[in-house]
């Protein structure tokens, strides 16, 4: 009952000072809106990275020769020749958590068709490759295991290669091309994938049996990498451990020795890239939080002025029976109401801004429920925190002095 009365008194004071209240709220409104918008941008970019990487095959596991090149001064992975076909066979035979696996050899070269030529990269793989990378065929068919064994000179090409070496729009399937000096029969065209998150053209590729590429083009007996696919996304981390153990045994590494290879799942890649965007989000939110803090200080400021301005009123309220606690509650409720209303308007503005950013700037955004809850809670706490000091000041006034205050 009493609290309800105090609530009425506080709302009355707010309504009587509409303009001032709105101006006070502005800081909170902008603060909350920017926190929500910034978090939405951060979440959005994180999600878009995740989607792109998942599209590359979220179960994918890559095994590269050479230890983790994040360490200091080691040779780059490409020059290390410690990954062999035997390793591949061993993993294929023993790893139970992998559903697909392919050796990968790759090299750059010129794709030539008559007078058209185009610099591209050739990947030597086995038929599992399409399943691992989650690529479909636009036309034609994949080569078979038999063709791999016989090192057939057959190839599949990506759309970028098609556009550049078959500019006349002829169907490339069944045509002959040359990669460097080796002739290949085009047996299929890969479905268009576009650029990946890192700006790499995923359609600028030639795919051929790894045996062919190894022997006829690169003339090497080692592998550049092994790609595999875990049974499921959840099994990927376990599969990484399994592969690591198999390879350590295969390479006869002592416990004291570091791995001479690197096994990574997509999950790790995702977290690497997410951490960058997370950093950015934290930065954005930090800036937005500062504006929320300033909004809070704005409330304190106005409440402080309000207490000074209404000293006589406070004196009167005390004279007619208002207790110190009543006065405290009145001003506290006022501050909380201002900040919560501001917070509510801020949420609306923030959501509006997010829609605007998505629609007109084409940035990926995603509003997380927690961002609304958190910024709203921060608002309420701000109201209590910054309303407390002036309210305390008001309640501690001496009624006699307050009544005589001019």
- Of 59-67, 273-281, 315-323, 368-376, which segment contacts another protein by CB under 8 A? 315-323
Residues 6+ apart with CB under 8 A from 240: 61, 263, 264, 265
According to DSSP H, which parts of 17-141 are helical?
Answer: 18-55, 85-94, 129-133
Radius of gyration for the chain, computed over Cα atoms and rounded to the nearest angstrom:
33
Asked if residue 316 binds another protein (CB under 8 A), the reply is yes
**Of residues 3 and 290, the one with the C-beta less far from another protein:** 3
400 touches another protein by CB under 8 A: yes
Distance CA(88)–CA(292), nearest Å, equals 56
Give least dist CB 18 to another protein, A.
Answer: 11
Q: Which of 107, 188, 322, 383 binds another protein (CB under 8 A)?
A: 322
For residue 9 the two structure tokens come to 């008194």
By CB under 8 A, residue 308 contacts another protein = no
Q: How far apart are CA 84 and CA 290, in angstroms?
A: 55
Does 192 help bind another protein (rule: CB under 8 A)?
no
Cα–Cα dist 138/143, whole Å: 14
Rounded to the nearest whole angstrom, what is the least distance from the CB of residue 345 to another protein in the complex?
A: 24
Q: Which residues contact 331 (CB under 8 A, 6 or more apart)?
A: 10, 303, 306, 307, 387, 390, 391, 394, 395
Enumerate the H helices of 166-265 as residue ranges.
Answer: 210-212, 236-250
For residue 52, the cross-strand partners are: none
97-109 burial, b at 16+ Cβ within 10 Å, e below that, comes to bbbbbbbbbbbeb
CB of 306 to another protein, least distance (A): 13
| DSSP one-letter code for 308 | H
Binding flags for another protein, 232-271, as an x/- string (CB under 8 A): ----------------------------------------
Instruction: Determine if 18 is a binding residue for another protein (CB under 8 A).
Output: no
Tell me the closest approach of the beta carbon of residue 375 to another protein, in angstroms: 33
C-beta closer to another protein: residue 344 or 403: 403
Q: Based on CB atoms, which residue is closest to another protein, 9 or 285?
A: 9
CB of 300 to another protein, least distance (A): 24
The answer to the question of residue 305 lying near another protein (CB under 8 A) is no
22 part of the interface to another protein, by CB under 8 A = no
Q: Kindly list the residues in this chain that would bind another protein in the complex (CB under 8 A).
A: 1-2, 5-6, 8-9, 12, 16, 312-313, 315-326, 399-400, 403
């Amino acid at each position: 009952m009493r609290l309800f009365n105090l609530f009425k008194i506080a709302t009355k004071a707010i309504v009587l000072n509409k303009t001032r209240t709105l101006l006070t709220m502005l800081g909170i409104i902008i603060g909350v809106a920017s926190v929500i918008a910034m978090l939405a941008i951060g979440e959005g970019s994180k999600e878009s990275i995740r989607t792109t990487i998942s599209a590359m095959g979220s179960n994918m596991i890559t095994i590269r020769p050479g230890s983790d090149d994040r360490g200091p001064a080691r040779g780059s992975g490409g020059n290390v020749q410690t990954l062999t076909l035997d390793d591949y066979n061993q993993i294929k035979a023993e790893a139970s958590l992998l559903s697909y696996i392919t050796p990968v050899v790759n090299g750059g070269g010129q794709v030539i068709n008559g007078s058209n030529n185009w610099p591209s990269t050739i990947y030597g793989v086995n038929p599992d490759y399409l399943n691992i990378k989650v690529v479909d065929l636009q036309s034609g068919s994949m080569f078979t295991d038999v063709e791999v064994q016989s090192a057939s000179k057959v190839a599949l090409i990506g759309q970028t290669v098609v556009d550049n070496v078959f500019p006349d729009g002829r169907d490339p399937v069944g045509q002959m091309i040359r990669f460097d000096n080796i002739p290949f029969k085009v047996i299929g065209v890969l479905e268009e994938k576009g650029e990946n998150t890192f700006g790499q053209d995923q359609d600028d590729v030639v795919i051929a049996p790894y045996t062919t590429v190894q022997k006829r083009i690169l003339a090497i007996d080692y592998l550049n990498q092994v790609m595999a696919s875990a049974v499921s996304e959840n099994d990927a981390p376990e599969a990484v451990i399994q592969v690591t153990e198999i390879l350590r045994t295969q390479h006869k590494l002592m416990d004291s020795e570091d791995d001479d290879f690197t096994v990574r799942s997509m999950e790790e890649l995702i977290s690497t890239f997410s951490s960058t965007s997370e950093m950015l989000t934290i930065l954005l939110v930090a800036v937005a939080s500062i504006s929320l803090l300033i909004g809070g200080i704005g409330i304190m400021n106005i409440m402080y002025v309000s207490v000074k301005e209404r000293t006589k009123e406070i004196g009167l309220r005390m004279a007619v029976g208002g207790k110190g606690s009543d006065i405290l509650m009145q001003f506290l409720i006022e501050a909380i109401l201002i900040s919560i209303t501001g917070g509510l308007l801020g949420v609306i503005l923030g959501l509006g801004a997010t829609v605007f950013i998505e629609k007109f700037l084409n940035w990926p955004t995603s509003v997380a429920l927690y961002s609304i809850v958190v910024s709203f809670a921060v608002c309420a706490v701000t109201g209590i925190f910054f309303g407390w000091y002036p309210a305390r000041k008001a309640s501690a006034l001496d009624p006699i002095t307050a009544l005589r205050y001019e």
